[in-house]
């Protein structure tokens, strides 16, 4: 089985990326410690392998030349989440934002805060 393409992240890779997006440049050991504090206890070897894969895929950049190696996000959360959402929109909803919104908003009642936020987005877009 081949490794997912660079635009696709596994669930574990995405968990690791969230740590880097939140905390910035880290060693694999520090990333593992942050995951453990968030009650996601993975072995050091697992996290180090995930960091290596993320580096190979271009999501993380090595920022130093000596050990321990430090890595930082090379793609922003906004870029990655936007690309993932575009992929879901294309593959699942065949490009229909309307179908996506119906599915998303039909799942549960919007809170007053969510409704106000959505309304402000719509008004901003109309302006």
Q: Where are the domains of the chain?
A: 11-73, 77-126
Give the Cα separation of 83 and 62 in Å (integer).
23
- CATH code: domain 11-73 is 1.10.10.10
Which residues 6+ apart lie within 8 Å of 63 measured at CB? Answer: 25, 70, 71, 72
| Cis peptide preceding 106, ω within 30 of 0 | no
pLDDT tens per residue across span 67-84: 999 999 999 999 999 999
Mean pLDDT (the chain) is: 91
Quick one: pLDDT at residue 106? Answer: 83
- What's the pTM? 0.81
pLDDT tens per residue across span 14-41: 999 999 999 999 999 999 999 999 999 8
State the CB neighbour count (10 A cutoff) for residue 25.
Answer: 15
């Amino acid at each position: 089985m081949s490794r997912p393409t660079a635009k696709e992240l596994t669930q574990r890779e995405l968990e690791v990326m969230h740590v880097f997006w939140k905390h910035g440049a880290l060693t694999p050991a520090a990333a593992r410690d942050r995951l453990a504090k968030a009650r996601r206890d993975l072995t050091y070897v697992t996290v180090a392998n995930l960091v290596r894969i993320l580096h190979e895929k271009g999501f993380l950049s090595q920022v130093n030349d000596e050990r321990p190696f430090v890595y930082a996000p090379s793609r922003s959360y906004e870029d990655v989440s936007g690309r993932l959402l575009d992929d879901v929109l294309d593959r699942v909803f065949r490009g229909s934002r309307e179908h996506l919104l119906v599915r998303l908003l039909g799942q549960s009642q919007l809170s007053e805060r969510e409704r106000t936020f959505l309304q402000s987005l719509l008004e901003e877009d109309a302006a």
